[in-house]
């Protein structure tokens, strides 16, 4: 898998974009788009093997990142949500949401959003935390009322391990469309084999008098030739007519060989010619 580590600025940039809730999105889980941002999704009934592969690989990586160094899955269950949603165009979908900020992150004292700045109060030795918008209001009030000038310090919120992994995944997908080539190839081969078996069963139904053993032996005899069809059709498809032609040819060869063996078999009691 191609992976990229992201700095805090990139993590914040992704968070700002992905935590923005769509106006047409509704859910009973108030964590979605508030504390958890969408990372990757997959339509449940689609034939997009690349999206399916990326989804499952990403889900495993995110859970693993959240649970690193732990003996249970408590953190990943909280930080990584595999949510079922519906889309008007795609139907039922699975969407992974990841908690962006750690539970102990500081919030703006005025609006409860994630803090961007910390202001030290020398008199009490404490800090007040402000978001970028409220910091501007605070600076304006400070200047207006002649309050002592304090220097704000940039505050870096603590990101979850799952979010760091999520941004790494998103960065990787921007450069290359597949997260794990091996997983994708295995899914392609499994899909193709499933389609091939269906096409082969259809071809075999044309010869109802053949025994199961004969059908299996004929299929084995043309397995290599059938395998050469892999990759000829998009989305692991199969040209059923080609499968029927290959199977018919193999069947003719099979029974011709069987007939020759029977005709040339020695007759009981007959002396074999030297």
Where do the DSSP E strands lie in 192-273?
Answer: none
Higher local confidence (pLDDT), 30 or 15: 15
User: What percentage of the chain has pLDDT greater than the value 70?
Assistant: 89
pLDDT bracket for residue 265 (50, 70, 90): low
Instruction: Determine what percent of the chain falls in helix, strand and coil, rounding each to the nearest 5.
Output: 50, 15, 35
CA distances from 256 to 109, 201, 262 (A): 88, 22, 10
CA distances from 2 to 37, 146, 162 (A): 22, 54, 17
Q: Assess whether pLDDT exceeds 60 at residue 9.
A: yes
Q: For residue range 183-235, list pLDDT tens digits in order.
A: 999 999 999 999 999 999 999 999 999 999 999 999 999 999 999 999 898 88
Q: For residue range 117-155, list pLDDT tens digits in order.
A: 888 765 555 778 888 888 888 887 777 776 666 778 888
> What pLDDT is stored for residue 160 in this prediction?
95
Residues 6+ apart with CB under 8 A from 146: none
- What 251-260 contacts at long range (C-beta under 8 Å, 24+ apart), as own/partner pairs, is 251/207, 251/210, 251/218, 253/221, 254/214, 254/217, 254/218, 254/221
- What mean pLDDT, rounded, does the chain reach? 86
> What pLDDT is stored for residue 48 in this prediction?
86
What is the rounded distance in angstroms from the CA atom of residue 2 to the CA atom of residue 54?
A: 12
Q: Assess whether pLDDT exceeds 70 at residue 179.
A: yes
């Amino acid at each position: 898998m191609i992976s990229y580590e992201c700095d805090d600025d990139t993590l914040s940039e992704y968070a700002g974009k992905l935590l923005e809730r769509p106006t047409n999105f509704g859910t009973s889980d108030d964590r979605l788009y508030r504390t958890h941002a969408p990372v990757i999704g997959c339509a449940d009934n689609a034939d997009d093997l690349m999206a399916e592969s990326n989804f499952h690989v990403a889900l495993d990586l995110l859970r693993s990142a959240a649970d690193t160094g732990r003996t249970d899955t408590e953190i990943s269950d909280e930080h990584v949500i595999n949510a079922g949603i519906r889309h008007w165009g795609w139907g039922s979908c699975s969407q992974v949401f990841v908690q962006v900020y750690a539970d102990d992150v500081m919030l703006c004292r005025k609006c409860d959003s994630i803090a961007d700045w910390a202001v030290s109060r020398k008199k009490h030795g404490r800090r007040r935390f402000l978001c970028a918008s409220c910091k501007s209001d605070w600076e304006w009030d400070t200047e207006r009322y002649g309050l002592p000038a304090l220097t704000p310090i940039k505050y870096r919120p603590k990101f979850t391990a799952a979010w760091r992994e999520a941004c790494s995944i998103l960065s990787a997908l921007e450069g290359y469309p597949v997260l794990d080539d091996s997983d994708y190839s295995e899914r392609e081969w499994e899909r193709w084999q499933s389609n091939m078996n269906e096409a082969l069963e259809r071809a075999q139904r044309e010869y109802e008098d053949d025994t199961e053993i004969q059908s299996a032996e004929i299929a084995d005899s043309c397995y290599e030739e059938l395998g050469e069809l892999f990759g000829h059709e998009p989305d692991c498809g199969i040209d059923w007519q080609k499968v029927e032609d290959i199977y018919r040819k193999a069947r003719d060869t099979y029974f011709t060989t069987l007939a020759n063996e029977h005709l040339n078999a020695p007759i009981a009691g007959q002396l074999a010619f030297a």
